[in-house]
Amino acid sequence: MRVLLIDDHALVRKGLEELLKSRGIDVVGSAGSGEEGIAIAKEKNPDITLLDIKMPGMSGLETLEKIKAEGIETSVLMLSMSRDEADLARALREGAQGYLLKDMDPDELIPALNDAMAGKNVVAKELIASLTNIIQGKPSKQDTIEPATPLSELTPREQEILAHIAEGESNKVIARHLGISDGTVKLHVKAILRKLGVHSRVEAAVIAVEHGMRI
């Protein structure tokens, strides 16, 4: 399986590339913009393209539209933090083969890619209700129900430490900045990973970056 990554966040691309390569998947390219991604797709002909939605300049949806318009033979899976029903509807309408969420369990990503390779449409389980609404033509309930973010359960101190993790700082550096011990930082990091449902600092940092966390 040959995969192309298109995402404006370098940290997200790096984390995905490491995850996919660790599972024996060939990452043929990594692009930080829609224009760059399209150029790589033309050259490398990836089996699957993982494409972010919210990107500056050419958005993911515009990139998807151009990929399809130019007849590039690649199955496109949107990979985003957006749970907006309108984004899901447009992505599927423009020809995306699937729509996945970046806070999904890493162990669920590979089966989703395998399903896409087999020609199946894949949609994050959290969006099945939205997909049903789209199919049935029902109005979205998102205007009245605000979905919780992955950061909702974190304490203010944990959010502060997560922002430092997103900057690539080690426990020792974070401890020095915040005036606490390395051991205390380590305990907070463990709690952050548990609450976010991830297994590594890179995955936690990806979520932080996607939610605009900064020191």
**Tell me: the pLDDT tens digits for 76-86?**
999 998 888 88
- Contacts with 164 (C-beta within 8 Å, 6 or more apart), sequence order: 173, 174, 177, 178, 215
Distances (CA, A) of 182 to 24, 55, 95, 172: 35, 36, 49, 6
CA–CA gap between residue 88 and residue 154 (Å, rounded): 28
- The arithmetic mean of pLDDT across residues 48-70, rounded, is 92
CATH 2.10.60.10 fits 2-136, yes or no: no
Share the mean pLDDT of the chain: 87
Highest mean pLDDT among 37-46, 52-61, 80-89: 37-46
Q: What residue ranges of the chain are covered by domains with CATH 1.10.10.10?
A: 156-210
Residue 144 pLDDT exceeds 50: no
Segment 59-73 shows an average pLDDT of 91
Q: How far is CA 10 from the centre of its chain?
A: 12
pLDDT at 48 over 90: yes
CATH class of 156-210: mainly alpha
On the question of pLDDT at 129 being above 90, the answer is: no
Query: pLDDT at residue 171 above 60?
Result: yes
H-only helix segments in the chain: 10-22, 34-44, 60-69, 85-93, 106-117, 128-136, 156-166, 171-178, 182-196, 201-210
Residue 131: is its pLDDT beyond 50? yes
pLDDT digits (tens, 9 = 90+) for 71-115: 899 999 999 988 888 888 888 888 899 999 988 888 889 999 999
CATH 3.40.50.2300 positions along the chain are 2-136
Average pLDDT over residues 174-192: 92
- Residue 138: pLDDT band (50, 70, 90) is low
